[in-house]
Amino acid sequence: MIIFGTKAKTTTIGKGKFNCPHCQREREYERKKAKRYFSLYFIPLIPMDDIGEFIECQTCHRSFALEVLDYKPSKPQNDTARLLNTVKSRLERGYPIEYVISDLTTEGLDREIAENMITMTIGDNRKSCPKCELTYAGILEKCTDCQIPLV
């Protein structure tokens, strides 16, 4: 039996910083180009056509159209004090711990202080997603990105 079909492959054609609409922060991105290949036994062999280009956030790994590079946040970036005051509610609403730590360190906090802030807020009771490996507060049941149960 011969198994054949098509498969998309992506290549990185550029990098930079942009305002990610999902993270609501300035983040690193990769500009990627997708191309469809004829595949035989799941191995891409012959290039067929270009699918298109897109932007991928290197923090949340979401994909966006190229126009996202023109996106400007409608509200000003949070200052450190406001960010510190929202840590608990963000974690309880399902914001991954890694994203909160990243936001705190982006605002200038030392990583160790940011991690201590998380521990003081939710303790050591944490759950992680087996698929995307993001860590959440222990009160949550499902990964907000993958929608699968946390362990």
Its pTM stands at 0.49
How high is the pLDDT of residue 27? Answer: 93
Q: Token match 């990627």: residue?
A: 32
Domain assignments of the chain as residue spans, ordered by start: 4-70, 80-137
How high is the pLDDT of residue 51? Answer: 85
Q: What is the mean pLDDT of each run of 10 residues along the chain (151 residues)?
A: 82 94 90 90 82 93 93 64 84 92 86 90 91 92 90 90
How high is the pLDDT of residue 108? Answer: 81
Distance (Å, rounded) from C-alpha 120 to C-alpha 65? 39
CB atoms within 10 A of CB 121: 17
Distance (Å, rounded) from C-alpha 87 to C-alpha 98? 12
Helix (H) or strand (E) holding 45: strand 43-57
